[in-house]
Structure 1
Amino acid sequence: MDSLLTFFGLAVMAFLFGGAGLAWYSFSQLKQANRRIDALNQAVTDLKQLLAKSDATQQNAASAPLQPVDEAPASGSPVESALELATESELRPPKEGRDSLACKAPNAVVPVQVATHSSSDQRASDAANTSEKKDRRAVNNKDKPPHPAPSHTPRPSLTERFEAFIANNGLLWIGGAILALGGVFLAKYSVEAGLVSIATRLVFGGVFAAALVLLAEYLYRKQGGQSGVLTTCAALASGGVITGFALVLVTFTYYQFISSALAFAGLAFISLLATALALRYGPLLAVIGIIGAYAVPALVNTDSNNLFALLMYVNLVSCAAMWVAQKVQKDWLWWQSFTGHFLWLAVSIAVGESGDIWLIFATMVVGLYLYIVAGVLGWRFSESNGQALAVKVLLMPRKEQLAIILSVMGLVAFYALHGFAPSLIWVCALLAVLCAWLPLRHSAFDAWPFVALAFCGYVIMMYPLPASGATLSVFAGAFGFTQFAAWLCFGYGWFMMKRYPKRLSYCLFSAVSSLCVFGLSYVISPLAISAQLYPLWSGHLLVMAAAAIWLGQQGLSAYGKAALWVLANTHLALVLSMWLNASTLTLALCGQLVLLAYYQKSYQLAFPSWLTKIGLSLVLLRVTLAPFTPEYSQENVLSVHWSLVVLPLMLAFIFAAYRLQTNRALKNWLEGALMHLLALFVTLETSYYLIGDYPSLQHLSFKEMAALSMNWLVLGTVYWWRYRISQRDLYLIAGSFLAGASGILHVAILWQYNPWFSAIDVGPYLLFNWVSVLWLVPLVMLSVALKYGLIPARLQLDIRFIYGLIALFCFLFVNATVRTVFQQQFIMVQLTTSQAELYTYSAVWLLIAASLVVLGQRLAQSPLYQSGFAILLVVILKAFLVDMAHLDGLYRAISFIGLGLSLVGLGWLFTRVRSH
């Protein structure tokens, strides 16, 4: 009884949904009928206009002399023509509307015979006066061009789109979905009813699923594949496929009537059948089939752990899916199959053993062939293209890059899980052959050799190095692989550059490939074997440099010659970095910028600007971080500390590149680099010679914090100056960060190492001490930044805040300087203050106040003028309340007289300045 009620409820729901759908369908049909009625009304209006034109034509013909008239045209009378036009307007799509009729109505007028009856002449004579104005108005309207239709149509609302869906085969899809639900509920009913045997129920479900598919095929064959019938067939077939899929899963998981192998085969067959039916009924079935086919291994667990069977099945499904995707020409089917293939590939990498590498690698190759190579070269490799592609096209995200990157990442993950194995060398070799051969057929693969180069570097890093104390063979193991790979890269780059001179990616590959291989081996090799390894590496590099110079004279293009010259220079720089210290590598890299600018100017080449920008940024980053690198701390060049030699030479190199460069944007970059290096040189040398070493960021002392605060403020001001010239946000961010870090250090100094309250030695020399570093330099830098407008307006800093900082630094510096005159190295307030020191404070601030007043008068700057008088007032109050508080008798009188004469003299001076 409950099952009958359930079935009755489902039937009621089906009727409700069907009724709602029919209501929407009827509503949409009613709207179409209204549009057709509007079209007919417009046709009637146009018919009246045609009749008026016919009367005017007859009137003109009656006024002309009578001539013999040929037989009337076959088109008939104007009335018949108008009726034909009205019929066409009824059948025409409603959106053409009035404009289409207005354009075609005048052309529908046919020649009219001249009537000989007096009634026609009388009617033409009577209508002549009344229709003359209408005819002129109609002719004028005809000559005017129609108003252009708006180019942008409003996007339909959700309700309108739903109406369109219902009107355009929406009911068919709803019906297909209800059929699928019916199949699922039929399977459920077969489980719960118990009226017949389980096997009979399942057979009924299978018959129902097969009936839906057969019905779809019957309709397709009977109607001849019309568009409306295709939608109906797709809905029926999708319902049958989903029903069959559900029945096989129920049979296996719930009843366990069939084995896992049979369930696997059944589900795979249904999925592939749905994929094949997509060629007849549309791509919807392909979606169902591909998802189902890739989901089968996850739904059915055979407990066999057979990775070979799994990957072969995945490859079979991928082949079928890509064949269907190519037939139906749907890009989203490609992405669906691509995702399923590489997801199962990732699962196989995670669960596979080290001996399964060849299965995994073969699956990767199949994926590359199906998803990339077949789409570019064709299934039989019949397509080819040797034309050069732009660098931006090669670097932009594309499907070719995604597939090869995922494949290489999978190989890296596999060997990261299982460690180094000899198979890694063969996998690298096969991948290199693939990445080297494909660019010979098509230029779309020009970026793949760089991927093979990156994987070659991974192999070098994974290769085990000889243990300490073991016999070293520089021609075997990792070192033998390095030499072989470097010479192969050198030869391949030269061959491709010679064969395809316009494909500039190989110029770049030739310039960097062998250098990257030897450079990586040089970096990861332990210092213990440097005595044996470096001479051999230097020999290879020098031979390659000589070969590059010789090959550059063999008729290559200008870009090829420049690439080989860069190769020779970079190899020489690596040799120098092996035998010299670490700082010379930075110097050698900086020299490449000069050579690049020289080649660009000498050979009239247009190198990509980003190449110079990246190289310049790397050099600046390296030299900026060098002071905080342990290997640079005690390094000397020519018996002198490295920064005193390397930084001036880098300044000279970049200045030479600036003079050779013709690109204005790159000249701005080089200007910024010059200012950065100059500021870095000043700050590093001051820090080194003030402290005796570069500061350690982990444990900062008072002197280190003072030096860093000064240096960072100077660098921040330089970056603000660069921002004002180039308007690049990077300079604004860097300058603001450094200035903020300097401010934080100042606050930390006043909190932790405040020399006014702690026994901090500020130095014995006047002006050349830590007081100047701590407060004079920030005072000068902020004043310069304020004077020349270097502080960015985007920071929205209040000018009063900047004036307050300047006044604070000035107050601290002046008082600390006076304090050091009397107290030597310490300026603590706890120390005894003499009467002479008090008078000195007043005298110095009196001079400062007078200077500010005079300067404010001369420059017409009200803040300076007002600040001077404020300081003068404070000085007078201090003189009365502090300085003269301990004087009596003659000394007090003389002090007052001296103070009064000073003020009178200052007043006279201000008057003279104002008068001038």
Structure 2
Amino acid sequence: MYTTLALLMALLALLIGVKATGRVSRQEKELDKLRQELNSLQNHLRRDAHEEPAQQSHMAAESRQMPSHVAAKTEHISSPDSTIDNTLVDSVPSPDVTPQAQPQPSSIVLDVFEQKNEPFFLNKLQDLLANIQENWLVWVGALAMLIGGGYLVQVIGSHIEFSPLMRVSFALTLSLAMVLAGEVFHRKEQHSPDRAKRAQGFTYVPAAVTGTGLTGIYCTVIFAFVIYQMLTPSVSLIILAVTALFSLALSLRQGPLMAVLGLIGGYTAPLWIGSAEPDYYVLAGYISAISIAATLLMQIVRQSWISPSIALAHVLWMLLLIESIPTEILFSWLAVYLSLTLYLIFAVPRMGWALNRRYHHHQKKWTNPPTVTSIAIALLTFSAVTRMPAINILQMTYCFTLLVAAVWLPALRKGWSLRVFLPSIVVFATAIMVLSIAFDTLYLPEHKASILFALAVSIALICGRTYAQSLCDRSQLSGVLLLVLAPVMSLISLFYIDEFIPNYAWHWTLFCALIALYYVLLGQRLTVLMSECSAIVHALIAGVAFVWLSDTWLTTAISVQVAVMALQAQSQRFPPANWAVKVVMSILTIRLTLLPFIPEWQPIETEHWAWVILSYVPSLVILLYARAVLIRMDFELANWFEGAFLHVFLMALFTQTNYWLTGQYGYLGQIDFTSAIVFANQALVMGLIYSYRSQFAQQLSRVYQAYSYLLWCVFALLLILLNTVESPLAADNVSAQAIPIFNMLSVGWLLPACVLLTAVFKGWNTLQIHRFAVASLGFTLVAIWLGMSIRQFWQTTSMMLFQPTSMAELFSYSVAGLLVGGLLTWRGVTHKGLMMQRIGLIVLACVALKVFLWDVSSLDGFWRAISFLGLGASLIALGWLFQKLHRSVARALEP
């Protein structure tokens, strides 16, 4: 009973789907007819709107010629056409309306056909919603028919009391009948031109009916194989493949819905018809056949969405097969199907089967991006390599050949390819580098020479590919690949070989020399790229120098290279680009800046007196010579050399000064009181120098500014260190027996204060730091220095805070405060500096408070009297000065 009920429900669902599909088809026909009538009505209204003014002018001319009584009769005669038009549309003007009040013909447009300027995505969203509203019945009906057909086949195959052969035959017959019904329906639809156009979209009703039948065929074959074992795997797969190909072929007649069904059925069939030990060659051949058929269909119907569908399904199947195939046959399988995959999904979609660059592929930007497909090919290659337990020379050669062939495949016919393929060259070059490292470390450690030879040949072929591309393609990306790709691969390989395969470093250095010679010849041939080729040659030379030289030899070599580049620029013999000279000079400057802090770069032990001479003097001489060579020819580049020379000179000066003061050239991990003072002054001065250079720099102005801020931050941190942990008041860093003024207090506080105040009064560039902040910091450092100097003068053993303070020292603070406050006040009054005058008065007020609050309790006898007398005399003298200045100003203002 339940079986019969299920069968009836399945048949009922199928009939309802057919009925709904027919009803939708009739409604769509009526809608098309209504649209045609509406269009004809619109055209009629527009034509009448254009003809109405001409008729009125003609009637006016006739009325002027007619007698008055005839014209009067004519005015009351109304045209039948105008009556009909007024009944249909209100916008048609009546005879009583004046011509000025009549609407223009362009205004007689139905709202349905109005065009609005809206954003692109909003238009697309509105189109999608309109498409859903218009076609959801077709889609839901097609889905219901597909599900109903599948359930019907399931019920027939599982519950009807017939023999298995009868069940399968009945289900297959019903499915074929649905396919036939869809074809008959399609032929009827083709009689109407408007209905025939729907075959190109996803809302074609006959395609839904045919899809139901094809789904039934798929399900019938699956039930015959899985449940009844009536078919062998190969026969089942062949039937499903034929069905999928038939569906793809039907898409030429019934639209893309058949293509979707064919792709889904074709690529998912092996998942249903599987076995424990499949024939991987047959299975891969089946997937490739489906992909080839779908590609042919894509080329015929020119639908770009088919390409990503093919690529995604094909790559996933290849990855699944690579991970499942026995390792004994993996290499032979790869040699056939991985190569076919490269050709099929990487080259054919955009170039056709003949790899023609002018092939009309009809692909969009993201339907078949070669960069993405090249990444997929590289990942498939990596997956295959990781599955191999051992790799021999032949297998290694195939991997390199495959990747190099992928580089050359788009340019196989003419030597150059479409620009869309250029990024894939970088992908395959990266894959070659990764495979080389993997072969060396994991698979073929005993065949290092073979790996390096294959890598060298690959780089040489990539050189040829980029050169051939640049001859016919003048794009920026083509030029960048020509200049950068091969040198970068060579230098990375050189650094890797020097680190892990040092026995072959000389051989690869020779290969780098050949690459450099190639770029020399290239620069002579392509004069437009001469300066860039010269820069690449110098980059290769610098890379080789980094590998083979060290210590002061490397520094000297970079300096010599800078001088050679300057001479080339001056003589115009294979001159390098200016940016290359700046880069090499920046490398030299950075190396000399970090030299005191990295022991591995230093020529001799840091206690040796000749350390600075060996490290800095050769570079200074070469930089000065290069500036002198370029000063008359390239002023901008000469300014760079001047800045580099000044920076290196200051580094040498401060480093040597630090050595004289501390006995060592300084390390970041051993910063003490003296080193902190020297480095603070160095950071402050170098920051000012780079802020000055930023005013004249063009490309590196922001770099200079960032460097200035960084150095000033270091200066601020060192100041905090000097006034907290390393302060002479907290640690015994400055002896009380030291000579006053001429000690480290003046170097650590007075010297940077003088630099800061000079920067303010001279108007030096302090970037975004306000001059008031700089001046405040300078005066603060002066005040700290003055206070600590007074304490150092009066103390006998130590100037730390735990030592007692004598009355003479307290009195000295008052005297110093009076002098400073008085000078600031007098300076502010005479030069009309209101801020300075206020600061001076504040200092005097603080001194007065100290005398009245602190000195009263701390001083006694003579010192107390002297303190009050001195304060009073100072204030009286200051008042007398104010009065005198006031009288002078008053006399100057008198007439």
Structure 1 length-normalised TM: 0.69
- 1:285 equivalent in alignment to 2:258: yes
In structure 2, do the counterparts of structure 1 residues 899 and 20 end up closer, same or farther at CA, with 3 Å as the change threshold? farther
- Report the alpha carbon displacement of residue 558 of structure 1 after superposing the two structures with TM: 1.4
Aligned pairs for 1:609-620 (under 5 A) are: none
Q: Deviations over 1:202-247 (max 9, x none)?
A: 5544444433333222222343381246611222233334444455
Moved more, 629-638 or 232-241: 629-638
In structure 2, do the counterparts of structure 1 residues 177 and 874 end up closer, same or farther at CA, with 3 Å as the change threshold? same
- 1:322 equivalent in alignment to 2:292: no
Q: Deviations over 1:546-574 (max 9, x none)?
A: 67657765xx2312544554455445445
- Residue of structure 2 in register with 1:373 after alignment: 347
Aligned pairs for 1:185-584 (under 5 A) are: 185-187=151-153, 189-190=155-156, 203-224=169-190, 226-228=196-198, 231-246=204-219, 248=221, 261=234, 264-297=237-270, 301-304=274-277, 307-348=280-321, 350=323, 353=327, 356-357=330-331, 359-360=333-334, 362-383=336-357, 399-412=369-382, 414-415=384-385, 421-422=392-393, 423-429=395-401, 431-432=403-404, 435-436=407-408, 438-439=410-411, 440-442=415-417, 444=419, 445=421, 454-455=430-431, 457-458=433-434, 461-462=437-438, 464=440, 476-477=449-450, 515-516=487-488, 519-526=491-498, 556-566=525-535, 568-574=537-543, 576-577=545-546, 580-581=549-550
C-alpha distance in structure 2 between counterparts of 1:761 and 1:35, whole Å = 103
Q: Is the 8 A contact 1:50 1:82 kept in 2?
A: no
In structure 2, do the counterparts of structure 1 residues 266 and 550 end up closer, same or farther at CA, with 3 Å as the change threshold? closer
Structure 2 length-normalised TM: 0.71
C-alpha distance in structure 2 between counterparts of 1:191 and 1:848, whole Å = 109
Unpaired runs of at least 5, structure 2: 68-76, 360-364, 890-895
Q: Is the 8 A contact 1:593 1:657 kept in 2?
A: no
- Residue of structure 1 in register with 2:72 after alignment: none
In structure 2, do the counterparts of structure 1 residues 519 and 684 end up closer, same or farther at CA, with 3 Å as the change threshold? farther
C-alpha distance in structure 1 between counterparts of 2:142 and 2:860, whole Å = 114
In structure 2, do the counterparts of structure 1 residues 279 and 722 end up closer, same or farther at CA, with 3 Å as the change threshold? farther
C-alpha distance in structure 2 between counterparts of 1:15 and 1:831, whole Å = 106
- 1:134 equivalent in alignment to 2:98: yes
Aligned pairs for 1:11-50 (under 5 A) are: none
- Report the alpha carbon displacement of residue 173 of structure 1 after superposing the two structures with TM: 1.9
Q: Is the 8 A contact 1:184 1:243 kept in 2?
A: yes
For 1:557, the aligned partner's letter is L
Moved more, 743-752 or 667-676: 667-676
Moved more, 606-615 or 637-646: 606-615
Unpaired runs of at least 5, structure 1: 67-76, 91-96, 106-129, 386-394
- Residue of structure 1 in register with 2:854 after alignment: 882
Aligned pairs for 1:678-689 (under 5 A) are: none
Backbone CA RMSD of aligned residues? 6.4
Q: Deviations over 1:693-714 (max 9, x none)?
A: 55457x8777777777777777
Number of residue pairs the alignment of both structures matches: 844
Q: Deviations over 1:15-39 (max 9, x none)?
A: 8999999999989999997998999
- Report the alpha carbon displacement of residue 169 of structure 1 after superposing the two structures with TM: 3.9
- Report the alpha carbon displacement of residue 687 of structure 1 after superposing the two structures with TM: 7.3
Moved more, 594-603 or 237-246: 594-603
Aligned pairs for 1:856-871 (under 5 A) are: 856-857=828-829, 862-871=834-843
In structure 2, do the counterparts of structure 1 residues 377 and 19 end up closer, same or farther at CA, with 3 Å as the change threshold? closer
C-alpha distance in structure 2 between counterparts of 1:819 and 1:15, whole Å = 106
Q: Is the 8 A contact 1:651 1:674 kept in 2?
A: yes
- Report the alpha carbon displacement of residue 152 of structure 1 after superposing the two structures with TM: 0.8
C-alpha distance in structure 1 between counterparts of 2:272 and 2:99, whole Å = 79
Aligned pairs for 1:513-912 (under 5 A) are: 515-516=487-488, 519-526=491-498, 556-566=525-535, 568-574=537-543, 576-577=545-546, 580-581=549-550, 631-633=600-602, 640=613, 642=615, 646=619, 692=664, 695-696=667-668, 756-758=729-731, 769=744, 777=752, 790=766, 792=768, 812-821=784-793, 828-854=800-826, 856-857=828-829, 862-883=834-855, 885-909=857-881
Q: Is the 8 A contact 1:838 1:883 kept in 2?
A: yes
For 1:524, the aligned partner's letter is Y
In structure 2, do the counterparts of structure 1 residues 588 and 167 end up closer, same or farther at CA, with 3 Å as the change threshold? same
Q: Is the 8 A contact 1:559 1:605 kept in 2?
A: no
Moved more, 411-420 or 223-232: 411-420
For 2:152, the aligned partner's letter is L
- Report the alpha carbon displacement of residue 544 of structure 1 after superposing the two structures with TM: 6.7
Moved more, 183-192 or 645-654: 645-654
In structure 2, do the counterparts of structure 1 residues 408 and 862 end up closer, same or farther at CA, with 3 Å as the change threshold? farther
For 1:879, the aligned partner's letter is V
C-alpha distance in structure 2 between counterparts of 1:317 and 1:825, whole Å = 97
For 1:329, the aligned partner's letter is R
C-alpha distance in structure 1 between counterparts of 2:797 and 2:498, whole Å = 49
Q: Is the 8 A contact 1:44 1:86 kept in 2?
A: no
- Report the alpha carbon displacement of residue 271 of structure 1 after superposing the two structures with TM: 4.0
In structure 2, do the counterparts of structure 1 residues 279 and 593 end up closer, same or farther at CA, with 3 Å as the change threshold? farther
Q: Deviations over 1:353-381 (max 9, x none)?
A: 49734644654443332334334543213
In structure 2, do the counterparts of structure 1 residues 773 and 365 end up closer, same or farther at CA, with 3 Å as the change threshold? farther
Moved more, 210-219 or 344-353: 344-353
Q: Is the 8 A contact 1:884 1:892 kept in 2?
A: yes
C-alpha distance in structure 1 between counterparts of 2:571 and 2:80, whole Å = 82
Identical aligned pairs, as a percentage?
Answer: 20
C-alpha distance in structure 1 between counterparts of 2:644 and 2:247, whole Å = 63
Moved more, 417-426 or 35-44: 35-44
Q: Is the 8 A contact 1:238 1:285 kept in 2?
A: yes
In structure 2, do the counterparts of structure 1 residues 639 and 899 end up closer, same or farther at CA, with 3 Å as the change threshold? closer
Q: Is the 8 A contact 2:567 2:626 kept in 1?
A: no
- Residue of structure 2 in register with 1:94 after alignment: none
Q: Deviations over 1:276-302 (max 9, x none)?
A: 333332223333433444444556553
Q: Deviations over 1:682-734 (max 9, x none)?
A: 8877778777355457x877777777777777777888889998799888887
Q: Is the 8 A contact 2:487 2:540 kept in 1?
A: yes
Q: Is the 8 A contact 1:573 1:585 kept in 2?
A: no
- Report the alpha carbon displacement of residue 186 of structure 1 after superposing the two structures with TM: 2.7
Q: Deviations over 1:711-765 (max 9, x none)?
A: 7777778888899987998888877777667767777887766664455679978
C-alpha distance in structure 2 between counterparts of 1:754 and 1:6, whole Å = 95
In structure 2, do the counterparts of structure 1 residues 17 and 363 end up closer, same or farther at CA, with 3 Å as the change threshold? closer
Q: Deviations over 1:606-635 (max 9, x none)?
A: 999998898888777777777666632557
C-alpha distance in structure 1 between counterparts of 2:125 and 2:473, whole Å = 59
Moved more, 310-319 or 810-819: 810-819
In structure 2, do the counterparts of structure 1 residues 536 and 259 end up closer, same or farther at CA, with 3 Å as the change threshold? closer
